[in-house]
Amino acid sequence: MPTPSMEDYLERIYQLIESKGYARVSDIAETLEVHPSSVTKMVQKLDKQEYLVYEKYRGLILTAKGKKIGKRLVYRHELLENFMRIIGVEHEHIYTDVEGIEHHLSWDAIDRIGDIVQYFEEDPKRVENLREVQSKNEQEKLED
């Protein structure tokens, strides 16, 4: 399995290829806010581990293995963002919170979170009920 840092790169490369049709070192560096030299080093590592094929000055393509992992990582990220929205995390905290936890959860935990998201999405009344509980708890905090 890739390291958390490798996962961040694979996730971003997958997203860039899906949206633009390609991913250049400069694009990856810009979106991850790192130096192009750091991207080149990581891309070379990912190439060695057969997640992608990298040719200097020509670009890169994800292998089947890289696409599969990239797609799964994007799913994980989006699922966790959706989960955070459902449970009422403030919008400005969601991205940072997801980035902070996504590498520390097992795929079993991700699957269970997926079950919870599905449970709430299947019946919007459930989200309303959750908001009522949260509102009650907030009110109780203010009274203490």
| 91 annotated ligand binder | no
Q: Residue 68 and residue 62: Cα distance in Å, rounded?
A: 9
The CATH number assigned to the domain with range 4-69 reads: 1.10.10.10
**pTM of this structure:** 0.88
Q: Residue 119 and residue 97: Cα distance in Å, rounded?
A: 22
Domain with CATH 1.10.10.10 in the chain: 4-69
| 143 annotated ligand binder | no
| 8 annotated ligand binder | yes
Residue with tokens 């490369």: 13
Q: What is the DSSP letter of 35?
A: -
Asked if 32 and 12 touch (Cβ cutoff 8 Å), the reply is yes
| 77 annotated ligand binder | yes
Question: What pLDDT digit, counting tens, does each position of 1-45 carry?
Answer: 899 999 999 999 999 999 999 999 999 999 999 999 999 999 999
| Predicted pLDDT of residue 65 | 97
| 103 annotated ligand binder | yes
Residue with tokens 């991700």: 110
| 102 annotated ligand binder | yes
Domain with CATH 1.10.60.10 in the chain: 75-143
Asked if 49 and 69 touch (Cβ cutoff 8 Å), the reply is no
Determine the topology of domain 75-143 in CATH.
Diphtheria Toxin Repressor; domain 2 (1.10.60)
